[in-house]
Amino acid sequence: MQHIRSHFHLFRNREMDSLYFTLALLHFGEGLISIFIPIYFLTLEYKLWEVFLFYFLRSAFFILATIILLPQMKKYSDKMLMFVSTPFIIFYFFGLGFVDIWPVLFYILPLFSALSLLLFNVGYHLSFADAADEGFIGREVSVRLVGSMLAKFAAPFAGGALIVALGFRYVFVVGSIILLFSVLPLFYLSKKKYLSHADIDAVFGFIKNKSLRPFNILGIGYATESMVSWIVWPIFIYFTVGSIEEFGGIISVGLFGGAIMTYMVGFLSDTGKRRRVMTISAMALCLIWLVRLFISGVYAVVEIHIIGDIIVAGLMVAWTSQFYSIARGVNNAGLFILSREIIYHLARAVFLPILAILAYFLPIHQFFGISFVFGALFTLFYLFGNKQHLSKINKDMVKA
């Protein structure tokens, strides 16, 4: 009976349901495009190091935009932040289709991506942290991630097929239209302001706060490992299979396996096993990165990708559940969430130039090998999350 009530509980919150639908539509639209962007630049004869330059510019613009726009962001509710982000992401994806015509867009579009990430991520995480119910955070995180993964599941395969049939430009347009509809569920959200007393010094105060140091180190690990996972590994898969359509299918299968694992781990997180899940998942993912140093051939790559996605799914639920628990426990969730976003992009602004330099000077096989070692190393940073305790944060946190 309790099991049935917990399922009903997840779907009785209208605001939470609106957030689920928004993220599902957003991830389907992005799923048609995002995973293919590094490959798209390579097909336009950009060098591999230039791909990392593109993402470095996005992180650099993100940091700069945060400092400049925070006084304006304080005036908007969480709902409005998500609304305002939409034109930027649509222009970003739409503009990608014209980089071959106007190469200057290669240097401009990262700004629009950064603005969209800043506004949407802060607004969304604030809404979710507020709407999530205590005692059910792990399950609500898992439902959110499962919905996103299932929405993403068909997107890479469909995106690959559409790219083969129509070309990149038309897929970017289709994705942009879907993203436009992703804001419709937001009309069901109430407006709440969380950043009204924020300033950049207070945001960096959360980054410098000693009681949050373990979680800050974890954030650095997530930010850097994800760049290897989202950029380097997909390029490695594409080089191995040699087909955009097959590449999209492999990504889709991995997401489906991850969705199943995500749902299961959500319940474990709410039964006090979050730290154990994080430890096991982090160690297993580290091993996966090291195994990738020695694999070759399509079948081996497909198998290790699917296994890796399943492990990542469990890790993300455990870590994200901890993230929202801390956000609800500190005295200013807005400052905490914004500080996380800054940490991610500060870490990437340092790490991506390193990848660019390595890609410029090293043969491709050596570059992949070193990148996978980086992936394994930074995955271990998740273990610092188990040293983070909410009670200590509540005791030590200085009011902002």
Domain count, the chain: 1
Q: What is the pLDDT of residue 193?
A: 56
Measure Cα distances from 112 to 57, 85, 106, 153, 332 in Å: 11, 9, 11, 26, 27
Q: What is the pLDDT of residue 185?
A: 66
- Rounded to whole angstroms, the Cα distance separating 318 from 323 reads 9
User: pTM score, two decimals?
Assistant: 0.85
Tens of pLDDT along the chain (400 residues) come to 333 334 434 444 555 566 666 766 776 777 778 888 999 999 999 999 999 999 999 999 999 999 998 888 877 777 788 888 888 988 998 899 899 999 999 999 999 999 999 988 887 777 666 655 444 444 555 555 555 555 566 677 677 777 877 788 878 888 878 777 777 666 666 666 556 566 788 888 888 888 888 889 999 999 999 999 999 999 999 999 887 878 877 777 776 666 666 655 555 554 556 778 889 999 999 999 999 999 988 889 988 988 888 888 888 878 887 887 787 777 777 788 888 999 999 999 999 999 999 999 999 999 999 999 999 999 999 998 888 766 666 444 444 3
CATH number for position 335:
1.20.1250.20
Listed in sequence order, the residues at least 6 apart from 62 whose beta carbon sits closer than 8 Å to its beta carbon are 114, 117, 118, 341, 342, 345
Q: What is the pLDDT of residue 8?
A: 37
Helix (H) or strand (E) holding 143: helix 137-166
Q: What is the pLDDT of residue 138?
A: 47
Q: What is the pLDDT of residue 3?
A: 39
Q: What is the pLDDT of residue 92?
A: 92
Helix (H) or strand (E) holding 155: helix 137-166
Q: Which domain holds residue 110?
A: 2-396
Q: What is the pLDDT of residue 224?
A: 97
Measure Cα distances from 169 to 28, 100, 134, 144 in Å: 17, 10, 44, 30
Do 291 and 159 form a contact (C-beta atoms < 8 A)? no
Which tokens sit at 224? 């850097």
Q: What is the pLDDT of residue 326?
A: 82
Total Cβ atoms within 10 A of residue 167: 11
